[in-house]
Structure formats: structure tokens, C-alpha cells
Amino acid sequence: MSVSVQIEDFDISQEIGTLTAVRTDIGAVVTFTGLVRDMGGGQPVSAMDLEHWPGMTEQALEQIETRARQRWSLQATRIVHRYGRSEERRVGKEC
């Protein structure tokens, strides 16, 4: 398990490559990518600012990962949560 909470952008292809480089038992990779919508509450949206609470964010993501492992047989996990400003249609978070 690996959880990162960061303000820096990241490359999902690089994250997948790192995860699978030493694991030949992984037969599939599933990702979730959050995007900034163009509308919110009927109003145009051009950017989104994500905040986080250090310590609490990591703990919540670790709990999500633990529940996923209990529910499914997972060989490996990698969670990256990006905070800060994200522009319209730009990746906000991926895991």
C-alpha cells in the first residue's frame, strides 16, 4: 500500500509503471481520475481548489484502502490525492 497527498502534478502512466515494474502477478490496473466539471450548481466552473487536513486526509485514504483490501483480493494499491488548484478539465486526482 502506498498513499501520497501532494500539491504537485503527477503522471498517471509513471505511477502505473512504478506499481507494475516489480509485480508480475498484477493482471489488471484500475484507476479513478477526478476532473473539474464545467458546471457546478448551474454556474460555470473554470477551476477548483482542493484543500486537505494533514494527517486526517492520509488516515481517511488508508481506511478506504483497507476496506477495499477486505472486500477484494488486491495484489497492490497506490493512492495519490492531489490538492491545490486544478483548472477546468484538468486532472484533479487519480488513484
pLDDT (tens digit per residue) in 27-79: 999 998 888 888 888 999 888 899 999 999 999 999 999 999 999 999 999 99
In this predicted structure, what is the pLDDT of residue 91?
Answer: 53
Q: Give me the mean pLDDT over the 19-24 stretch.
A: 90
In this prediction, residue 92 has a pLDDT band, given cuts at 50, 70 and 90, of very low
d(CA 68, CA 54): 22
Q: Region 85-93: what's the mean pLDDT?
A: 65
Its pTM stands at 0.81
